[in-house]
Amino acid sequence: MTPKSALRLVGIGGANRAMEAEVKRLAKRGLEAWASPKPVREDEQTLVYPFDPAFAHLAVNYLRTPSRVLWDIFESEADRLEPLYDDVLAWMKKAGEGWLESGLGISIRARDVEWFPASRTQIQGTIKNGLIEGAKKRGIELALDSEQPDILFAVRGTKNRIVLSIDLGGVHSNHGYRKDGDRAPMRENVAAQLLILTRWDPRKDVLVDPMCGSGTIPIEAALMARGAPLWSKERPAPCAKLPAFRAFKNHPLEPLFADADPIIFGNDIHGPAIAAARKNADRADVSDSIALIEGDFKNLGPNQLRAHSPGGRGLSLDQGLVLVNPPYGERLEEGDEELERLYRDLAKWASSFGPGWKSGFLVTHPDFESIMGKQARMKKPVPHGGLSTQLYVYGADG
């Protein structure tokens, strides 16, 4: 039985690089006199930092790249239910700083515990009983609330250990604005990850997504440029009720880069997709930064971009990023030949913007570089939708 106190950021695939870069960017603006410690890279998608309430508050409310933000608080080497219960009970004699308080409802969810000689339901019940009974021995009342818990405990098995964490942000990849969508929409945190990996600089780079669907990439770009919070006073993060975060109760959740003024374009040939994108952009309050255009991307040239510039602003096209999540093949009925023609058309169109532009493509095609006719300057796995997708980046080596 080992007490722990660590903040765990969990992303998708090889998200570490993007998550760490986002932490550094936001911490400089959002935390006073905070020296970012070097995280432990537990695997390609997990960063572990020492737990600090101020940093945890920033991570939950502003980080857009993780899927989960967890507060690790305990681990056990028990290999059966009885000693697991005893470990939790023993730990609860002194545990609870920052989270234990009478009247809170709890729920337990376990995953990756197949190696343990008991069912997931039995593990959850054992830990729940240990938490509630241990608190009761200290005169503290916790109650089971499976539907709307104040504390969601995440249990996972790793290296023959059971680790108990508090899920601080819930489903962190759901950023709250997307209620209208098209087929197979991109997860919001994947879009954020792509923007960081391609090194999009909203201060200098125009952003164009020629096949934007319901607008996830353009909307995430606008929100990320502003350092917009994921939660609000009206819609607080799940961890807001915990004692560790009480000091931030009246802390205003405002954009960290409120003066950001990005120029972003989203285009799609499907009218319903653009209609959904407009609704989502309005809901996210970023319509002033994004021009959404209906049409074939091959007709989306400099003149059309200038004519649709958000807010009628003057537009320099010397520098920018084309970022696209095109069909992977599974969604096309025409087959590989039609898919490869589409990719060649995208490559030709993207290269027409000039030497100051980069382009990023998220695809599954194993011969994408052959289709493009050149090697990407960066190729990185970014799993999406259960597929082995790769991000290929071409162009300006900023």
Residue 99 shares a structural domain with residue 224 = no
Per-residue pLDDT tens digits for 58-77? 999 999 999 999 999 999 99
- pLDDT of 233: 83
What is the model's pLDDT at position 181?
A: 57
End residue of a domain, out of 107, 133, 167: 167
Same domain, 297 and 373: yes
- pLDDT value at residue 315: 85
Same domain membership, residue 201 and residue 141: no
Q: Is residue 172 part of a domain?
A: no
Q: Which tens digits make up the pLDDT trace of 186-244?
A: 899 999 999 999 999 999 999 999 999 999 999 999 999 999 999 988 888 989 989 99
Residue-wise pLDDT for 270-327, tens only, equals 999 999 999 999 999 999 999 999 999 999 999 999 999 998 888 889 999 999 999 8
Class of residue 308 by CB neighbours under 10 A (exposed 0-12, middle 13-18, buried 19+):
middle
Residue 22 contacts residue 192 (beta carbons within 8 Å): yes
Q: What SS3 state is found at 265?
A: strand
285 and 141, same structural domain? Answer: no
Residues 286 and 352 in one domain: yes
- Quick one: 86 and 11 in the same domain? yes
Alpha-carbon gap, residue 387 to 212, rounded angstroms: 19
Q: What is the pLDDT of residue 13?
A: 82
SS (H, E, C) 195-208: HHHCCCCCCCCEEE
Kindly report the average pLDDT of the chain as a whole number: 90
173 part of a folded domain: no
Q: For residue 180, tell me if it sits in a domain.
A: no
Instruction: With cut-offs at 50, 70 and 90, classify the pLDDT of residue 87.
Output: very high
Determine the pLDDT at residue 186: 87
In this prediction, residue 139 has a pLDDT band, given cuts at 50, 70 and 90, of: very high
Domain presence at residue 179: no
| Domain annotation covers residue 244 | no
Let me know if residue 369 belongs to a domain: yes
Q: What is the pLDDT of residue 26?
A: 94
Q: Range of 160's domain?
A: 2-167
In a shared domain, residues 215 and 131: no
Would you say residue 328 has pLDDT above 90?
no
Q: Which two tokens stand for residue 229?
A: 């919070």
CATH number of domain containing 155: 3.30.2130.30
If asked whether residues 26 and 148 sit together in one domain, one would say yes
DSSP 116: S
Domain count, the chain: 2
Among 138, 167, 196, give the residue marking a domain's end: 167
Beta bridge partners of 378: 393
Q: What is the pLDDT of residues 101-122, one digit of tens each?
A: 999 999 999 999 999 999 999 9
Alpha-carbon dihedral angle through residues 153, 156, 161, 162, given to the nearest 10 degrees: 30
Predicted TM-score of the model (pTM): 0.91
Task: Map 120-179 to HEC letters.
Answer: HHHHHHHHHHHHHHHHHCCCCCCEECCCCCCEEEEEEEECCEEEEEEECCCCCCCCCCCC
CATH code for the domain of 322: 3.40.50.150
Residue 174 has a pLDDT of: 62
pLDDT in tens, 157-183: 988 899 999 999 876 556 667 665 555
What pLDDT does residue 331 have? 47
